[in-house]
């Protein structure tokens, strides 16, 4: 979908994106996505990074044709840095009033995030599988009505990163796999600013930080979870 991009090794190999309309050696960082029938391709990192065309990254990341079921990507997500986006297939699968909040935004995007080191670790394992402290996982769990075990953070150094019980975690993971669609773009340059711009543009339902339309109710739910997890 990118003008002048080419695969020097043929179909199935990494894409190179020239700086200009000519296929020269001046390249920007390669971006890649996983198609339904192909694992994500590698990332070429140039020692001379010129610029990132954010509009093209936006177009690829948000293209609904590139999204896959959250339950089908375990062996597709790469160990490279990048951006990811999460949509919900049916907004009415969200509890009230969150389904109404999303309907008012006239899209089905619920979260946008970045992985500065590994999409596999941050996006797949932490955010979708609860292996660690994923911000999205904690938030969607709260929205779905789950709460952490009382006092579960009392002995922990970090008093904010609450977790749900193993039983509740499995319920949340099952809901995620059945209801969410995901996409990602491998990229390494200026991730923070890219994330900031995308969140400001799309106002994803579950993002609180950087979101001009952050939902106060979600913030209150997260505070409630923190309070419960720190109660004696």
Please report, in tens digits, the pLDDT of each residue of the chain (232 residues total).
665 566 555 556 666 665 543 333 333 344 444 444 444 433 333 222 234 578 899 999 999 999 999 999 999 999 999 999 999 999 999 999 999 999 999 999 999 999 999 999 999 999 999 998 899 999 999 999 999 999 999 999 999 999 999 999 999 999 999 999 999 999 988 899 999 999 999 999 999 999 999 999 999 999 999 999 999 9
| Distance from C-alpha of 196 to C-alpha of 216, rounded to nearest angstrom | 19
Non-local CB neighbours of 215 within 8 Å, separated by 6+ positions:
98, 101, 205, 208
203: left (phi over 0), alpha (psi -120 to 50) or beta: left
What was the pLDDT predicted at 23? 39
What was the pLDDT predicted at 172? 98
Non-local CB neighbours of 24 within 8 Å, separated by 6+ positions:
18
> Within 13 Å and on the Cβ side, how many CA atoms surround 118?
9
What is the strand order of the sheet 109-115 is part of? Answer: 68-69, 180-186, 82-88, 109-115
What are φ and ψ of residue 126, in 5° steps?
Answer: -80, -50
Interior angle at CA 61, CA 210 and CA 133, nearest 5: 50
What was the pLDDT predicted at 19? 53
């Amino acid at each position: 979908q990118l003008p002048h991009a080419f695969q020097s090794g043929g179909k199935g190999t990494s894409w190179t994106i020239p700086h200009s309309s000519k296929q020269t050696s001046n390249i920007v960082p390669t971006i890649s996505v996983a198609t339904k029938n192909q694992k994500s391709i590698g990332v070429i990192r140039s020692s001379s990074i010129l610029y990132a065309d954010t509009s093209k990254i936006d177009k690829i990341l948000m293209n609904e044709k590139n999204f896959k079921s959250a339950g089908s990507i375990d062996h597709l997500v790469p160990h490279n840095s990048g951006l990811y986006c999460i949509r919900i297939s049916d907004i009415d699968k969200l509890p009230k009033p969150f389904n109404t909040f999303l309907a008012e935004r006239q899209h089905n995007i619920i979260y946008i995030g970045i992985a500065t080191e590994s999409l596999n670790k941050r996006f797949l394992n932490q955010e979708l599988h609860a292996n660690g402290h994923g911000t999205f996982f904690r938030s969607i769990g709260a929205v779905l009505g789950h709460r952490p075990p009382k006092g579960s953070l009392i002995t922990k150094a970090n008093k904010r990163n609450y977790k749900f019980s193993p039983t509740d975690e499995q319920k949340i993971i099952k809901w995620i796999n059945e209801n969410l669609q995901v996409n990602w773009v491998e990229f390494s340059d200026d991730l923070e600013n890219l994330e900031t711009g995308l969140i400001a543009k799309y106002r994803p339902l579950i993002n609180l930080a950087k979101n001009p339309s952050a939902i106060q109710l979600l913030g209150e739910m997260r505070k409630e979870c923190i309070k419960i997890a720190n109660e004696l």
